[in-house]
Chain A
């Protein structure tokens, strides 16, 4: 239920920032039909196995993150309602994992990676491909985190997390490769259709005659530095954090305010330790790192989605 509420809110935000005059509804409709049909196609991996793509990052880069999320949500809804493929109660959950984490989170990753890559078509393609791989891994991680909070079945968290993320790190390779390649094909024929291009590339794509393109001061260094510092703090410095209770906890303990009761729900990252990982420092590091990554990407994506794209 909680995931349904969150997903509903996020989709509402996306709908609001989706301007209908930006793309005619029919175009968005065809895009949705395309994603739906493309998800059914299986591409070969090796020795008889085949895989499918989700297309979250691809949709976000081609249509913009808000419309991308709306399109993915529509596809998930159709699968759940018409084909009874997804389960109606799991809708909030599915939209969150397969829609929101892949489109918003993946788009944020794409933006970040795009700044690190050269500002050219191949840079964009590489960024999109990597972001697509990351979106699959994050989706699996998000699923594992939600599993522990809401699951019916008694499988230990580290097993679920490890196997889900591990398998999807492999599956994500296919998604990443497919996303990058499809994007490069679209860029080759109709680059003006790709809404996710940076403003410099967009101008080049629209072939404006405004003279030399003024390069903005890309805050690349600041961005990368900030991310690195956050990660280092969350994983390494936190190891040295004091175990003594902080001010609030100290007062609570002194006054005997029920800190002794076991928690009703054993959350996976309770007390900043990853449940199931025995080694304390590794457990702390994983918890910190996961928290930083997921939060940063989802919120970053939300921010990017609600900003207006400036066109030349």
Chain B
């Protein structure tokens, strides 16, 4: 499934600019598969929130790029001054489509496979072992670290200190340094614990055999995923 989604994203990226029909077809199929995988609109909207600054920059691109100007509102009352760059709009629209499709595909991938499933898939495509292990650690411990940073802010606030200006950087940085040292030492303790439980430096092969159903609808979505690159491929060629 990893391969299918990655192929889909790549094909969307090479779909020629302005191929609105292809983008629409891709979106439809993607939404279908998401529906099968029971990915709700709330998750989708959260993903779009991450994309929001990029979408904004696309709008700016449409408005301010060079090239000939076009008036989308024609002579409508009071709006005839609104003009956009025609090349810019084309580019902005294409980029927006690609961004949304790519982000949603990523969302589908993560929600369907689950974190462990994703790691297993990365192992299967022979991503270097060290990187897969590091990804695993990031997924497992970034929550802990984020919590430490949160506690740092609370500790500062409870002592009456709220950093507001750039000149307030030193205490933030000093505490960040301490947190780095602490995370380093935590890493050493984790390594000792792992070795005490028999870790010898290799990623367990059992990582490859994991239950396929991460959530209701996952295995169905997995089976359907091959459709995505097919549709995208046709769309890219027909443009």
Contact = CB atoms under 8 A, between A and B. Distances in A.
Report the interface size class on chain A: 35 or more
A44 B162 CA distance: 10
Which among B65, B92, B169, B178 has the highest number of chain A CB atoms within 10 Å? B169
A82 B118 contact: yes
A40 B146 contact: yes
B142 A33 contact: yes
Contacts of A184: 173-174, 177
Interface string A189-219: 1100100000000000000000000000000
A74 B134 contact: yes
B218 to A, nearest CB: 16
Contacts of B95: 152-153
A70 interface: yes
A183 B115 contact: no
A29 B169 contact: no
Q: Is the interface of B mostly helix, strand, loop or mixed?
A: helix
Interface string A54-65: 000000001000
Interface stretch (B30-38, B72-80, B105-113, B219-227): B105-113
Contact of A181 (B104, B131, B169): B169
A257 B148 CA distance: 66
B217 interface: no
A37 B134 contact: no
Contact of A87 (B61, B102, B128, B131): B102
Interface string B87-131: 110011011000100111111011000010010001000001011
B200 to A, nearest CB: 11
Contact of B6 (A85, A88, A174): A88
B180 A33 contact: no
B10 interface: yes
Interface stretch (A17-25, A220-228, A258-266, A293-301): A17-25
Contact of B94 (A25, A33, A75, A152): A152
B110 A81 contact: yes
B179 to A, nearest CB: 7
A28 B130 CA distance: 9
A137 interface: no
B19 interface: no
Interface string A72-95: 011101101111110111000000
A62 B183 CA distance: 13
A46 B167 CA distance: 9
B3 to A, nearest CB: 12
Which among B6, B13, B47, B134 has the highest number of chain A CB atoms within 10 Å? B134
Interface string B55-80: 00000010001110000000000000
A33 B184 CA distance: 10
Nearest to B92: A153
B138 A78 contact: yes
Interface string B157-174: 000000111101110111
B137 A18 contact: no
A153 B166 contact: no
Contacts of A70: 130-131, 134
Given A15-B130, A185-B176, A185-B178, A33 B169 contact: no
12 contacts: A26-B190, A27-B188, A27-B191, A29-B141, A30-B183, A30-B190, A44-B165, A70-B134, A74-B131, A85-B50, A154-B91, A193-B184
The 10 closest A-B pairs by CB, nearest first: A185-B177, A29-B137, A84-B106, A181-B173, A30-B187, A27-B187, A37-B145, A26-B191, A24-B191, A153-B91
Interface of B: 5-6, 9-10, 13, 17, 47, 50, 61, 65-67, 85, 87-88, 91-92, 94-95, 99, 102-107, 109-110, 115, 118, 122, 128, 130-131, 133-142, 144-146, 148-149, 163-166, 168-170, 172-181, 183-184, 186-188, 190-191, 194, 201
Given A29-B136, A73-B131, A78-B135, 5 more contacts: A31-B183, A82-B110, A87-B102, A88-B5, A190-B184
